[in-house]
């Protein structure tokens, strides 16, 4: 018996390619196990994308006229209005900007603005010292570096004083028709969490999650539709879940 075992062992060792085939078999087995473990995650991701598309379809049906609420005539006016909208309602900004634009019709005049006068015109929007500084600085840079024209790229917009990614997304999407990202304001951030579209709290991370779920060509309008829904139905304190067309698709996180 001992001799037979030894002979079989010797033949196994001598068999060409035996070790290589064993290695390939082990690798294939491991790959199969990894594939099985990854399948539930892939299925969940696909289901979430499908749910996101259903949410988008209902938002488009409910808010076909969703648009930027900040009244503007050109990219510069939108840039100014967006800077002023920080910690301020769009309604208040729209009350302030007509007189502001009449006094400073473009980046050139605003770059030469008297600080006290500029602050006086925007005082009711809050944080007027910092906002005036941003408007004056952005105007000066637009004149000096960009020939008096608001730049149309994310990289260049982010070089302007007072401009972060959210403001740049607003200008690019609404003034230039470029979908470079999703605007995440308080409404969009709240709804993204409540609808289970993102578990993040940082606006940049929320934006990344939304960009992965929705088609690029829909990003600008998506933000407007979510903002409209947040104002009209999905309020922060008392969401009207019983009236919401998205109720069946919404896990109501935190509600």
Residues with catalytic annotation?
166, 185
**Residues 214 and 16: beta-carbon distance below 8 Å:** no
Q: Which two tokens stand for residue 195?
A: 């609808």
* Cα separation, 118 vs 130, whole angstroms: 11
Distant-in-sequence, close-in-space partners of 246: CB < 8 Å, separation ≥ 6: 55, 58, 59, 195, 229
User: Using CA atoms, how far apart are residues 123 and 126, in angstroms rounded to an integer?
Assistant: 6
Measuring CA to CA, which residue among 186, 160, 154 is closest to residue 172?
154
CA–CA separation, 117 vs 236, rounded Å?
36
CB 134 within 8 Å of CB 149? no
Q: How far apart are CA 26 and CA 199, in angstroms?
A: 38
Between the alpha carbon of residue 134 and those of residues 39, 77, 80, 170, 175, the distances in Å are 50, 14, 9, 17, 20
């Amino acid at each position: 018996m001992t001799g037979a075992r030894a002979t079989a062992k010797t033949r196994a060792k001598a068999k060409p390619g035996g070790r290589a085939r064993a290695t390939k078999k082990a690798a294939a087995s491991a790959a199969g196990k990894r594939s099985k473990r990854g399948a539930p995650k892939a299925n969940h991701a696909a289901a979430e994308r499908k749910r996101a598309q259903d949410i988008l379809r209902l938002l488009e049906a409910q808010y076909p006229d969703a648009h930027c609420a900040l009244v503007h005539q050109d990219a510069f006016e939108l840039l100014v209005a967006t800077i002023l909208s920080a910690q301020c309602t769009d309604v208040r900004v729209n009350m302030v900007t007509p007189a502001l634009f009449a006094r400073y019709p473009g980046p050139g005049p605003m770059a030469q603005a008297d600080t006290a006068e500029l602050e006086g015109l925007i005082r009711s929007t809050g944080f007027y010292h910092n906002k005036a500084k941003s408007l004056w600085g952005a105007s000066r840079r637009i004149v000096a570096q960009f020939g008096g024209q608001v730049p149309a790229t994310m990289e260049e917009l982010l070089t302007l004083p007072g401009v972060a990614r959210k403001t740049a997304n607003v200008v690019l999407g609404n003034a230039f028709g470029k979908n470079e990202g999703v605007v995440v304001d308080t409404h969009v951030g709240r709804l993204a969490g409540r609808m289970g579209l993102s578990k993040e709290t940082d606006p940049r991370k929320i934006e990344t999650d939304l960009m992965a779920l929705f088609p690029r060509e829909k990003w600008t309008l998506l933000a407007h539709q979510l903002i409209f829904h947040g104002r009209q139905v999905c309020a922060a304190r008392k969401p009207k879940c019983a009236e919401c067309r998205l109720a069946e698709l919404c896990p109501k996180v935190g509600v």
